[in-house]
Amino acid sequence: MSEEKKIEKISGIKGMNDILPADAVLWELFENTVQSVLKSYGFQQIRTPIVESTHLFARGLGAVTDIVEKEMYSFEDALNGDKLTLRPENTAGIVRAALEHNLTYDGPKRVWYNGPMFRHEKPQRGRYRQFHQVGAEALGFSGPDIDAELIAMCQRLWDDLGLQNIRLELNSIGDANERQQHRLDLIAYFEQHRDMLDTEAQRRLYSNPLRILDTKNPSMQAMVNDAPKLFDYLGIDSKSHFEGVQKILRHNSIPFTINPRLVRGMDYYNRTVFEWVTDELGSQGTVCGGGRYDSLFTMFGGKATPACGFAMGIERLLELMKAAGEGHSPSQCDVYLVHQGAEAQMQSFVIGERLRDAGLDVVLHCASAVGVGSFKSQMKKADVSGAAYSIIIGEDEASANTVSIKAMRADGADNHQITLPFESAVDYIVDQITGSSETDSSCDNPNHIHIHH
Ligand code: ATP
Ligand code: MG
């Protein structure tokens, strides 16, 4: 017996998931829907790097936030010592890019993004270390109309994705000076209840007391509920801005509840904040969060530029879509090419290219380590592929310059096999498929029409 050397397997990183082909259908459906909804509001896509300077997040999100304190993947570039961070969110990066390229020089801009974010959290259902967000940022807009538009856009997206039971929670956290007065009163209140604060709250008492309101500690709930409410500190401008948002939402029948304890995790927010929440995902029920961030541009050294945006967690939304029965695997192709023999293999390749020229999706049976396999095993693959037709070229067909065509999806008498001259096979299949796709109403997935004429 020869001694086999054991080779250690390399695994993926905890909390960072592979998205496999079986799930790709759902991702594509989600991404296509997002793209068309956002486009219908005039939002344009922007793509920024996944790595930014660590500095950007520390300054942008606030030093005493969950993300900056304990969730960032930060490292030193081994070659030049630069301090870098895998982006934990994308608003900071987009504001950086907007400033760097003077994106708002000729007026406000609506942009959106889609991509991976990284946070070192405890992995669990709906909470990963690499996860994906779609977000929208409206840069340079100050009125309540854009806040309401962003919210309406989310509502339309949930509707188009077939998602119900996502409710909107809304709040206004006022402007910096209003928050400052509230902060002083809040600290005084917490000082009076010092014995009830947990260590996390103790630590945040002077650095970020607003975040104590967001505690999940059950023993602090009652005390926190009676704390001074930021809402009572809002001045007339903040109040009327908030009224404006609500008025548009009501006028357009978009339901919401006001949650006076909603504060959001990043320091950059002011005035409008909102979250979309569902009860169907356990404790990871927030699928989207956003709000106004009028001071972020100046925090990055730019000219004052009001702005508002949101980010949604794709994994959480896909879980809802799955529960709603979306994302059935559509067929892989229109036509599967089955062949036997060297001559037949050459002809299959040629007919495959011609079918693709005609706009069809085609899978050619290619050899694996054990060769191309028997007709029977190839036909099994053709069946699994979901193809409407298989084209079969055996040695007889190859020498007679013909092909056999089998309708894979028709029942009974239609499930026959015909033989045609090689040259007329493409026209025949294109006719069959375009004819049937025009009348086929059983196909409920709009992405599943393979023919593109
Ligand atoms: P949470 O309170 O769940 O930690 P958050 O306030 O940190 O959320 P945001 O930074 O506002 O989240 O991000 C917007 C959305 O991104 C969240 O509502 C959620 O849907 C999603 N999200 C945030 N962190 C994760 C994660 N680690 N894994 C998966 N999705 C996430
Ligand atoms: Mg978080």
Which candidate, 259, 268, 258, 260, places its Cα nearest to that of 208?
268
Any bridge partners for residue 115, and if so which?
133
Encoding tokens for residue 106? 């000729």
pLDDT means over runs of 10, the chain (453 residues) = 78 96 91 98 98 94 86 96 97 97 96 98 96 98 98 98 95 91 94 94 90 88 92 94 98 95 80 96 93 95 96 97 84 94 96 96 95 94 95 96 92 75 95 67 42 39
> Widest CA span of the chain, in angstroms?
95
Rounded to whole angstroms, the Cα distance separating 3 from 421 reads: 57
Alpha helices (H) in 161-205, listed in sequence order: 176-192, 199-204
Rounded to whole angstroms, the Cα distance separating 258 from 172 reads: 9
Pocket residue to mutate for ligand 1, from 131, 154, 269, most atoms within 8 A of Cβ? 131
> What separation in angstroms does the CA of 25 have from each of 18, 19, 69, 126, 271?
14, 10, 36, 19, 38
Distance in Å from the first CA to the final CA of the chain: 61
Please enumerate in sequence order all residues whose Cβ is within 8 A of that of 14, keeping only pairs 6 or more positions apart, or say none. Answer: 123, 129
For the full predicted model, state whether its pTM sits above 0.95.
no
Residues with a CB atom less than 6 Å from ligand 1? 89, 119, 121, 126-128, 131, 133, 265, 284, 286-289, 311-313, 315-316
Encoding tokens for residue 228? 């001074």
pLDDT at site 330: 76
H or E segment and range at residue 408? none
Rounded to whole angstroms, the Cα distance separating 430 from 358 reads: 7
What is the whole-number distance in angstroms between the Cα of residue 284 and the centre of ligand 2? 10
What is the atom index within ligand 1 of the atom nearest the CA of 265?
Answer: 6
pLDDT at site 411: 67
Residue nearest to atom 26 of ligand 1 (CA): 127
Taken in order of first residue, the domains within the chain and their CATH numbers are 21-175+235-326 (3.30.930.10), 335-439 (3.40.50.800)
Rounded to whole angstroms, the Cα distance separating 202 from 221 reads: 15
What is the whole-number distance in angstroms between the Cα of residue 91 and the centre of ligand 2? 15
Rounded to whole angstroms, the Cα distance separating 37 from 249 reads: 18
The DSSP-derived string for 251-303 is HTT---EE-TT---S-TT-EEEEEEEE-STTTT--EEEEEEE-TTHHHHTT--
Pocket residue to mutate for ligand 1, from 284, 287, 308, most atoms within 8 A of Cβ? 284
Instruction: Starting from the CA of residue 92, give the closest ligand.
Output: 1
The DSSP-derived string for 65-83 is SHIIIII-EEEE-TTT--E
